[in-house]
Amino acid sequence: MTDIDLKLNTGATIPALGLGTWQSKPGEVAAAVEHALVHSHYRHVDAAYVYQNEGEVGQGIKKALDAGAISREKLFVTTKVFPSFHNKVEESLNESLKNLGLDYVDLFLVHWPIGFNPNGNDPLFPTKSDGTLDYDDSFDLVKMYKDLEKEYKSGRVKAIGICNASIKTLEYLLPKIDVVPAVNQIELHPYLPQNDLVKFCESRGILIEAYSPLGSAGGPLLKEPEIIELAKKHKTEPATILISYHLSSGRVVLPKSVNPKRIDSNAQFVKLSKEDLEELASIEEKRGIHRYNRPEWADGRLGFPDW
Ligand code: A2P
């Protein structure tokens, strides 16, 4: 069981292992969150408005708090503002807090540095009459982020940050804002190590949070030969290698599971050596980059070299 804590640039502590809740279905996720907090000693839950399951995440949190398994002060909860709420940050936070049953979150993130029409034909994914996504040309990331800064100053969020930010996005944003993002939450694993972005964030005091550490739905990376080999060497599970890749590198990792056994086993940690980490970070040189989450609506809009 890992109890690794990291520090945010706000001075706050963040548990390095968090439970991912993207694609966790209603009907499953409340029990998964409760199990993680009560039985597997997770102290960190990563949520988002767009996952449309925050209400259940909140039920799981409530059960764990009511059972006395963890205190609110020890628990770390994250939520995010979706592109269709880019000019309604306060409203998005109100909704998320209501859903989660909390009066503050520990971390509040720009989910994607993209803007959709906030008054379109759908609250999340508005489309134009031709069926294509209804972007908002007036989207202004700096303005959106400044609205997150307001919430940070109000105390309803203890830290703020961003997701899916490339070096290009951060170089544009950083000179224009007051509060350096505490984190950049990105897809990260040995098949998408993004070494330059990781170094850039480290040099600016921005903690990296790795999402889809197993390669997202179905955990495709668990079947890759290099990962299986390393798991054999350490007499552990492939998932432990992929999770420990981040934990051994001083990053936050957010594996998603709704299965109690896998939630338990994902909390295992093996300390990987410098050589193991270099081997993992070089797989991409042999095998090529693989990004598992590439929503079409973000194509060409984020400034990642591979996307
Ligand atoms: P499940 O929720 O049924 O456990 P990622 O964290 O990269 O998004 O990967 C999540 C996917 O991997 C989900 O399909 C999840 O399914 C599965 N998964 C999570 N943990 C494990 C594990 N330890 N072994 C196998 N599959 C896992």
Distance between Cα 218 and ligand 1 center (Å): 6
Portion of the chain with pLDDT greater than 70, in percent: 100
pLDDT tens digits along 273-290: 999 998 898 888 888 899
> Is the CB of residue 238 below 6 angstroms from any atom belonging to ligand 1?
no
Nearest CA to ligand 1 atom 25: 219
Distance between Cα 44 and ligand 1 center (Å): 17
Nearest CA to ligand 1 atom 15: 257
Q: What pLDDT score does 60 carry?
A: 98
Distance between Cα 137 and ligand 1 center (Å): 37
> Is the CB of residue 219 below 6 angstroms from any atom belonging to ligand 1?
yes
> Is the CB of residue 293 below 6 angstroms from any atom belonging to ligand 1?
no
What are the two backbone dihedrals, phi and then psi, of residue 207, each rounded to the nearest 5 degrees? -75, 140
Q: What pLDDT score does 281 carry?
A: 82
Q: What pLDDT score does 1 carry?
A: 64
**Looking at the annotation, which residues are catalytic?**
51
Task: Report whether 301 contacts 196 (CB < 8 A).
Answer: no
- The structure's pTM equals 0.97
Mutate to test the pocket of ligand 1, among 209, 224, 256 (most ligand atoms within 8 A of CB): 256
pLDDT tens digits along 21-36: 999 988 999 999 999 9
Q: What pLDDT score does 2 carry?
A: 77
- Alpha carbons 107 and 75: distance in angstroms, whole number: 11
Q: What pLDDT score does 165 carry?
A: 98
> Is the CB of residue 215 below 6 angstroms from any atom belonging to ligand 1?
yes
What angle is formed at CA 294 by the lines to CA 292 and CA 297, rounded to 5 degrees?
165
Nearest CA to ligand 1 atom 2: 257
Distance between Cα 121 and ligand 1 center (Å): 33
> Per residue of the chain (307 residues), what is the pLDDT tens digit?
679 999 999 999 999 999 999 999 889 999 999 999 999 999 999 999 999 999 999 999 999 999 999 999 999 999 999 999 999 999 999 999 999 999 999 999 999 999 999 999 999 999 999 999 999 999 999 999 999 999 999 999 999 999 999 999 999 999 999 999 999 999 999 999 999 999 999 999 999 999 999 999 999 999 999 999 999 999 999 999 999 999 999 999 999 999 999 999 999 999 999 999 988 988 888 888 999 999 999 999 999 999 9
- Residue 258 is given by DSSP the state -
Distance between Cα 50 and ligand 1 center (Å): 20
CA dihedral 193, 197, 201, 207 (to 10 degrees): -30
